[in-house]
Amino acid sequence: MPKQRFLVCHDYGMGGVWWVILARSAREIVETFAETAVVDDPQRWVEVEEWGLDEVDIDDRSDSSLNSLRARRDTQRIRPGFGVMADRALLYTRNRWDPEEDRAAADYLTEITDGYRTRQVEILDTGEATRTDLDDFPLNPPIDLWDPDLAEQEITAEEFEKAWDSAMPPPEGWYL
């Protein structure tokens, strides 16, 4: 299969790193580089063409920023659960967070739709539960659905919805 040009972003929340990558498919790119997304928005292509990005061949290992994402993916690839969630349009996860500061530990139950967090419930160890949705996320980078940790974190829709229904909305201006 001949290689085509793909617009690729590593979105780290407060910005992103962009490439034009020559590859055989969009899937090949996300299987090769961790935490990347192939962007197929024609308007974004127009903007990016003005940036003068270099084209990088997927088989070229000389781009150091891509090599770190490739190395992370290579490490993930050998673990159980790699790519299990890659084709899922909707999933629910539970992730434990144990802070080092003087804040209570929490479980984060997250609804992920097409690779993006759409709703989330924070359940503190104190029992307090707060629900948030797209309107509450000032930053919402894509979630790497190839990450094997997601398979270990999966919960049922029923578990998520039960937590969602019992949680309170955040206080006004909570993230400012």
Query: Quick one: 105 and 69 in the same domain?
Result: no
Query: Quick one: 62 and 94 in the same domain?
Result: no
Q: What is the pLDDT of residue 150?
A: 94
Query: Quick one: 107 and 48 in the same domain?
Result: no
Cα 96 from Cα 101, distance rounded (Å): 15
Asked whether the beta carbons of 38 and 31 are under 8 A apart, the reply is: no
Q: What is the pLDDT of residue 74?
A: 96
| Strand ranges for 13-127 from DSSP E | 16-23, 37-39, 55-57, 90-97, 106-113, 116-124
Query: Quick one: 22 and 47 in the same domain?
Result: yes
- What are φ and ψ of residue 150, in 5° steps? -60, -40
Note down the domain range covering 133: 90-166
Query: Quick one: 49 and 102 in the same domain?
Result: no
- Lowest-pLDDT range of 99-103, 141-145, 168-172: 99-103
Query: Quick one: 30 and 71 in the same domain?
Result: yes
Residue 125 lies in a domain: yes
Please, which residues have CB within 8 angstroms of residue 113's CB and are 6 or more apart in sequence?
89, 90
Query: Quick one: 156 and 97 in the same domain?
Result: yes
Q: How many separate domains does the chain show?
A: 2
Query: Quick one: 120 and 73 in the same domain?
Result: no
The structure's pTM equals 0.86
Confidence of residue 112 (pLDDT cuts 50, 70, 90): very high
Query: Quick one: 66 and 100 in the same domain?
Result: no
User: What mean pLDDT do residues 134-138 have?
Assistant: 83
Q: What is the pLDDT of residue 110?
A: 97
User: What mean pLDDT do residues 145-167 have?
Assistant: 97
Residue 171 lies in a domain: no
Query: Quick one: 47 and 73 in the same domain?
Result: yes
Query: Quick one: 101 and 51 in the same domain?
Result: no
Q: What is the pLDDT of residue 176?
A: 41
Cα 29 from Cα 73, distance rounded (Å): 11
Domain boundary among 19, 43, 77: 77
Residue 84 lies in a domain: no
Domain boundary among 45, 77, 109: 77
